[in-house]
């Protein structure tokens, strides 16, 4: 079983909709939780980063972490066509030998005008 599970979609929503993206994980050692956005033919870029359980807001984006359920979410309000991309959750379990990111498979999102 992969340590980080994410529904690959694709997810198609109309412009203005609220989007909910989710990941579950099995490794209790994960401490840092991130969402990356990847546009076609580009490398991933960090969108949101959280450390503790709870919510973190940045403009139209809200990242939510529930460590007790091993569940993280990304909400996008008032979605725009420019939000169309693949969204990857990523997690880090710090160790003496570094901080490698463990990724979900990514969810492909299409926001239609």
Partner 1 sequence: DVKVTQSSRYLVKRTGEKVFLECVQDMDHENMFWYRQDPGLGLRLIYFSYDVKMKEKGDIPEGYSVSREKKERFSLILESASTNQTSMYLCASSSGGGNTEAFFGQGTRLTVV
| Minimum gap (Å) between residue 44 Cβ and partner 1 | 5
CB atoms within 10 A of CB 98: 7
Strands (E), the chain: 4-6, 11-14, 19-25, 32-38, 45-50, 54-58, 61-66, 71-76, 85-92, 101-103, 107-112
Q: How far is CA 33 from CA 4, 19, 38, 63, 98, in A?
A: 11, 19, 16, 9, 16
Which one of 18, 46, 71, 112 is in contact with partner 1 (CB under 8 A)?
46
- Interacting residue with partner 1 among 41, 68, 82, 113 (CB under 8 A): 41
Q: Which of 43, 52, 82, 113 binds partner 1 (CB under 8 A)?
A: 43
Candidates 10-18, 53-61, 64-72, 100-108: pick the segment binding partner 1 (CB under 8 A).
Answer: 100-108
* Residue count of the chain: 113
Given 31, 62, 73, 84, the residue binding partner 1 (CB under 8 A): 31
Residues within window 51-90 making contact with partner 1, judged by CB under 8 A: 51, 88, 90
104 in contact with partner 1 (CB under 8 A): yes
């Amino acid at each position: 079983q992969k340590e980080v599970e994410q529904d690959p979609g694709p997810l198609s929503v109309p412009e203005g909709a609220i989007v909910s993206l989710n990941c579950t994980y099995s490794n209790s050692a994960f401490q840092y939780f991130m969402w990356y956005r990847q546009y076609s033919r580009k490398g991933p870029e960090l969108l949101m980063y959280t450390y503790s359980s709870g919510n973190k807001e940045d403009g139209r984006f809200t990242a939510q972490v529930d460590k007790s359920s091993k569940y993280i979410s990304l909400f996008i309000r008032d979605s725009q066509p420019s939000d169309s991309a693949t969204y990857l959750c990523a997690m880090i379990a710090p160790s003496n030998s570094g901080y490698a990111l463990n990724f979900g498979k990514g969810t492909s999102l299409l926001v239609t005008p």
